[in-house]
């Protein structure tokens, strides 16, 4: 896959699972090329392909069979609870072990749940009418306007062009990438905005090691800074909605920024420092770097309109308590203004194209699965059984609970590549864990989300990582990312503990 500078698509996390299929296709192409030189090899390869699906399906089918038997055993579970539990386990297994798109898995398992009577049909329609759905639609239209007008790329170029050394470029690039989480609700969308800047910097330096470090820096900062904004990822909105469903609490836009902006900023700058120290020496960091200057045209009318609407929306998001309009309402109004005929900067059809509809479907289906677990009592039953077996309910050590919570969420990307799927699967469990241990539900969800936003070990864990790995020319290798994550994961774990005791517990996030 070659990502061109004009690639402005706002892709969604549920597509990440299908990336495995892309790699399989490449392997098959290589097999075909090599088999062309040998008839025997070609015959063996064709035979192997014919039965490849048997091998690939063995693990998921075995796990699904085990899950089906497991939900039949407990006598204390009602039939709706058994169905909800099986649908959820089925989705989790398929998310984790197959290349089927996460949104398709969520939709089909949700339909299975509805058709078998595990959830009323109204749940499907209620989920699609959720404020989370409308907030996401409005956010994607906003992101499409920011990208189409070139506003984000212009601001990025203006800031980075002020640097005179390689180290200066790294620090300034980190600075400009952090606030993009407030404007573009997709990590791959933010990556698409940064690609032209990366190409310009790569041409300016020509040094392979500096290019490699830049290719790691940009997606890393994009991912670790996601936590700064409630609208930074669809997984945040799912987590907040589940918090409302289970604990009848919510984190406002302002509260989320208060909790997440300091952490996301420190984590981004710390990640930048680690990348520079791991992959560059002092001579390279102090090397002069003249960023290619593009012709600085004055702000266009479309850019001014977009900037004014964005600033107004952020101001209204931050002052929700004063005027009473929820952030979803404000976001939809902003989207309408940006697509208003004769006034807006985007045609309505283009605005709809900017929406990641597969993510919308995923979120709606995931909400049905999550709510069915809650309403049937299946989620509470699972957690009760886990706690009884593990004995964790007896612990009173808050530091131990904090470390376990951070470790579980930080490593969740290793066995579930979809960011949004991780939130749908883990948040209910974390909330019931918090309830059983009498913990602050808001603190449990937010700290868990901080960990789930970390997904830097493998390229397939995020499309933003893949976009930069697969750019034309040399960027970084999977081994480089693994080396980086080996350092950053313990750093993030320590940073979570440090922030908890030094900041979060004093501003309302005490466990």
User: Is residue 47 in a domain?
Assistant: no
pLDDT at 271: 93
pLDDT at 460: 64
248: left (phi over 0), alpha (psi -120 to 50) or beta: left
User: Is residue 208 in a domain?
Assistant: yes
**Domain span holding position 247:** 127-506
The Cα 271–Cα 275 span in angstroms is 6
The Cα 446–Cα 88 span in angstroms is 23
Work out the number of other CB atoms within 10 angstroms of the CB of residue 329: 16
User: Is residue 27 in a domain?
Assistant: no
| DSSP designation for 37 | T
User: Is residue 432 in a domain?
Assistant: yes
User: Is residue 78 in a domain?
Assistant: no
pLDDT at 11: 40
The Cα 351–Cα 375 span in angstroms is 36
Cβ distance 163 to 169 under 8 Å? yes
pLDDT at 12: 42
User: Is residue 61 in a domain?
Assistant: no
The Cα 356–Cα 431 span in angstroms is 28
Q: Distance of CA 14 to CAs 76, 107, 331, 353, 492, Å?
A: 34, 12, 23, 17, 24
pLDDT at 30: 46
| DSSP designation for 470 | T
User: Is residue 403 in a domain?
Assistant: yes
Output the six-digit token pair for 154.
């212009």
pLDDT at 249: 85
Q: Distance of CA 198 to CAs 191, 353, 357, Å?
A: 10, 25, 28
Give the count of alpha carbons within 13 A of 159, CB side only: 18
pLDDT at 266: 94
The Cα 238–Cα 224 span in angstroms is 18
Please count the structural domains in the chain. Answer: 1
User: Is residue 455 in a domain?
Assistant: yes
CA 346 to chain CA centroid, Å, is: 26
For each of the chain's 511 residues, which pLDDT tens digit applies? 344 444 434 344 444 444 444 444 444 454 454 444 455 555 555 555 555 666 667 777 887 787 777 777 777 778 888 888 888 888 878 876 777 777 788 888 888 888 888 778 777 777 777 777 787 788 778 778 877 787 766 766 666 667 678 888 889 889 888 888 887 777 777 777 777 777 777 777 777 888 888 889 999 999 999 999 887 877 888 888 888 877 888 888 888 989 999 999 999 999 999 999 998 888 878 877 665 555 567 778 888 888 888 888 878 877 777 877 877 788 888 888 888 888 788 888 888 888 878 777 877 787 787 777 777 777 667 666 655 555 555 566 778 888 888 888 888 777 666 677 777 777 877 887 777 777 888 888 899 899 888 888 777 677 778 778 777 777 888 788 888 988 999 999 999 999 999 999 898 888 7
Strand partners, 165: 288
Greatest alpha-carbon span in the chain? 75
pTM above 0.85, yes or no: no
| DSSP designation for 292 | P
């Amino acid at each position: 896959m070659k990502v061109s500078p004009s690639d402005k698509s706002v892709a969604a996390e549920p597509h990440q699972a299908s990336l495995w299929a892309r790699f399989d296709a490449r392997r098959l192409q290589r097999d075909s090329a090599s088999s062309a030189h040998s008839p025997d090899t070609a015959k063996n390869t064709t035979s192997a392909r014919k039965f490849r699906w048997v091998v690939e399906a063995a693990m998921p089918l075995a796990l699904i069979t085990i899950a089906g038997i497991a939900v039949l055993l407990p006598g204390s579970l009602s039939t709706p609870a058994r169905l909800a539990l099986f649908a959820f386990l089925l989705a989790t297994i398929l998310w984790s072990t197959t290349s089927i798109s996460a949104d398709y898995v969520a939709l089909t398992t949700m339909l299975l749940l509805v058709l078998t009577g595990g959830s009323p049909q109204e749940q499907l329609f209620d989920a699609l009418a959720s404020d989370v759905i409308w907030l996401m639609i409005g956010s994607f239209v906003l992101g499409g306007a920011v990208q189409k007008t070139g506003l984000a790329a212009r601001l990025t170029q203006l800031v980075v062009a002020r640097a005179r050394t390689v180290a200066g470029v790294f620090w300034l690039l980190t600075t400009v990438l952090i606030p993009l989480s407030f404007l573009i609700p997709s990590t791959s969308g933010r990556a698409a905005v940064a690609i032209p800047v990366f190409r310009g910097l790569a041409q300016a330096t020509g040094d392979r090691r500096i290019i490699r470090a830049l290719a790691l820096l940009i997606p890393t900062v994009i991912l670790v800074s996601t936590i700064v904004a409630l609208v930074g990822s669809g997984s945040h909105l799912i987590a907040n909605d589940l918090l409302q469903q289970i604990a009848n609490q919510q984190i406002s836009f302002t509260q989320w920024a208060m909790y997440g902006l300091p952490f996301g900023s420190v984590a981004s700058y710390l990640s930048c420092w680690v990348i520079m120290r791991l992959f560059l020496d002092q001579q390279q960091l102090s090397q002069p770097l003249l960023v290619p200057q593009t012709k600085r045209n004055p702000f266009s009318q479309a850019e001014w309109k977009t900037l004014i609407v964005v600033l107004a929306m952020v101001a209204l998001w931050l002052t929700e308590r004063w005027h009473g309009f929820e952030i979803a309402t404000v976001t939809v109004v902003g989207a309408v203004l940006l697509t208003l005929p004769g006034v807006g900067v985007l045609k309505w059809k283009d605005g709809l194209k900017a929406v990641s509809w597969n993510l919308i479907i995923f979120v709606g289906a995931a909400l049905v699965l999550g709510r069915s677990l809650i309403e049937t009592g299946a989620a509470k039953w699972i957690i009760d059984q886990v706690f009884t077996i593990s004995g964790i309910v007896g612990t009173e050590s808050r530091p131990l609970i904090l470390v376990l919570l951070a470790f579980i969420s930080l490593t969740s990307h290793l066995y579930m590549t979809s960011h949004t799927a991780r939130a749908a699967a883990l948040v209910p469990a974390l909330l019931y864990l918090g309830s059983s241990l009498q913990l602050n539900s808001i603190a449990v969800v937010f700290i868990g989300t901080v960990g789930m936003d970390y997904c830097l070990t493998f390229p397939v864990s995020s499309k933003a990582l893949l976009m930069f790995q697969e750019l034309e020319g040399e960027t970084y290798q999977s081994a480089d990312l693994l080396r980086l994550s080996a350092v950053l994961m313990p750093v993030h774990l320590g940073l979570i503990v440090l922030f908890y005791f030094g900041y979060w517990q004093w501003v309302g996030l005490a466990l």
